[in-house]
Amino acid sequence: MFDLQSIRPGRRALLLASVFGAIANGAKAQTASPRRGGTMVMLVHPEPSTLAAYAVSAGNIPPVTTQIYEGLLTYDWDLKPAPLLAKSWEISPDGKTITFRLQEGVTFHNGQPFTSADVQYSFMEIAKKVNPNGPVILAELTSIDTPDPLTAVFNLANPAPYLMVSLSANYIPIVCKSVFEGTQPMQNPSANRPIGTGPFKFAEWSRGQFIRLDRNDRYWKPGLPMLNRIIARFIPDASTRSAALEAGEAHYAAYSAVNAADIRRLQANPILDSTTRGYGMTAALTTLEFNTRRPNLAKKEVRQAIAYAIDRQFLVDNVLYGFAKPATGPLSSVFATQGFYTDQVRRFDVPDRIEIANRLMDEAGFPRGADGKRMSLYLEINSFGEQWLRQGEYIKQALAQIGIDLTLRSEDTATWLRRCYTDYDFDINEPFYSAGADPVVGVHRHYVSSAIRRGTTFVNNKDYRNPELDRIMDAATRENDHAKRAELYHQAQQILVEDSPGAWLCEVQYVTIFNRKLHDHTGPLGAYQALDRAWLER
């Protein structure tokens, strides 16, 4: 038996203290305090084909590379620029000069100090030349001056308001000049063994299995990172990925690493939790593109009728499993944060939409034939997965209501892209776009007439030409006054929705699933941001 009386007073006090201490610890576990150490496992799907984030813009690369490379800036929850490698900045009143003061005491993983020469090299030699976003984001950047090692002055030909929202590590990673100098960027040994300034160092890539990142002990932010190691695991099968989370083997899965159909089940699991935060810069839309070269689709009434015929809420509920919301136009409502978005456009979600659609088809001169059909069209099925066939099957049923006989055509990715973006041999296409951080980055190219470029994928393949819209988007590219710029985008949305060169279906809402033991993982850029503060409960 345990008898407190038999223990000497001094000991007794100590014992009691430790018992109470244990109780206090137990209570504290609810709100546990950050703990150093541990290995976090994240699921990335599909496995990246390369880690050359400075030259390839695939969405599955940044979850790994933003741990290693850093950008000049990061962004806060309002998507306003926040310091990272640049500690502060000034923009000249005419918008043509941006001066960045750089963080001191930063070193690359190879021991080289980080200086303004690396910034100059990363932008002028790497990003402008090999980064696919370079031609758009850096179009106005003419040169970078480096008056001292900790100052970089960007000289622009014209104001570029979108530049300041595109300087995070996932767009333009800062690389080490001495590693790249005199080599071909794509053939550089550091393409798949990246060397950056970030909180984690590249350690090992076992193809088909995992990438291992180790703690950067010399990271410039004091006391960070918290984790010892990050493992990015690649599991090709969707249900095995879900099972890995359920079993606690993996701690974190962002973007589409988890099948939408599994999300509800995972959310109900007591060891897991979920968040929809951190996707503010994604602005992903499911859309239809109409080939306006085709006589059937040349009239805007027909295109509007198609937009009216589709019940977007049905797609949200049954194709996207509820992880989406109906779209109103070419700009996602996530741009509301910046004031660019408006829903004051022609609305297709009205109660009598089917009657309106049928009336528009009559007005356009396409009466129903004896068999009730007005016209036959093809829909090119997006080849990037199952959900697009489901969407196509629904659209076929929806368009039958307004007398359009839709035939679905599903081909392999290469044939599909060639048909829609090179041969222009399509009626309706169903692509999926991410607008990026600014409309200039990922929206303009779908609608301006200068982006009718045969052979380039995901640009204006609709042959949509509207001089008024061209003028507005051109002005919005250069407009330095935020309010005026927002007004231009409101006009652009009204024009585009009225002309309907495409139909905008759903704003996809990504969900991050994480283990409850993992804390402080999701920042404003979600999975495209370093996990320097993330920590694991024991």
Alpha-carbon span 261 to 140, nearest angstrom: 44
Q: Which DSSP letter does residue 489 get?
A: H
Instruction: Please identify, using beta-carbon distances, which residue of 381 and 488 lies nearer to another protein.
Output: 381
**Using CB under 8 A as the criterion, which residues of the chain lie in contact with another protein when the complex forms?**
238, 259, 261-262, 264-265, 317-319, 381, 386, 389-390, 392-394, 396-397, 407-412, 415
Report in angstroms how near the CB of residue 67 gets to another protein at its nearest: 31
Report in angstroms how near the CB of residue 387 gets to another protein at its nearest: 9
Q: What stretches of 294-400 show up as alpha helix (H) in DSSP?
A: 300-309, 312-318, 353-363, 386-400
Alpha-carbon span 363 to 55, nearest angstrom: 49
Report in angstroms how near the CB of residue 255 gets to another protein at its nearest: 17
Instruction: Please identify, using beta-carbon distances, which residue of 88 and 413 lies nearer to another protein.
Output: 413
CB 318 within 8 A of CB 302: no
Instruction: Please identify, using beta-carbon distances, which residue of 11 and 264 lies nearer to another protein.
Output: 264
Instruction: Please identify, using beta-carbon distances, which residue of 72 and 258 lies nearer to another protein.
Output: 258
Report in angstroms how near the CB of residue 45 gets to another protein at its nearest: 15
User: What tokens does 149 get?
Assistant: 């090692």
Instruction: Please identify, using beta-carbon distances, which residue of 232 and 316 lies nearer to another protein.
Output: 316
**Element of type H or E holding 25:** helix 9-28
CB 27 within 8 A of CB 219: no
Report in angstroms how near the CB of residue 401 gets to another protein at its nearest: 10
CB 392 within 8 A of CB 384: no
Report in angstroms how near the CB of residue 243 gets to another protein at its nearest: 11
Instruction: Please identify, using beta-carbon distances, which residue of 510 and 528 lies nearer to another protein.
Output: 510
Instruction: From 320, 285, 246, 267, select the one nearest 43 (Cα to Cα).
Output: 246
Instruction: From 50, 77, 80, select the one nearest 62 (Cα to Cα).
Output: 50
Q: Hey, what long-range contacts does 387-395 have (CB within 8 A, 24 or more apart)? A: 387/260, 387/319, 387/320, 388/430, 388/432, 390/318, 390/319, 391/286, 391/315, 391/319, 391/430, 391/505, 392/430, 394/310, 394/314, 394/315, 394/318, 394/319, 395/288, 395/310, 395/430
Burial class (CB in 10 A: 0-12, 13-18, 19+), 290: buried
What is residue 13's three-state secondary structure?
helix
Report in angstroms how near the CB of residue 74 gets to another protein at its nearest: 35
Instruction: Please identify, using beta-carbon distances, which residue of 76 and 386 lies nearer to another protein.
Output: 386
Instruction: Please identify, using beta-carbon distances, which residue of 224 and 238 lies nearer to another protein.
Output: 238
Report in angstroms how near the CB of residue 371 gets to another protein at its nearest: 14
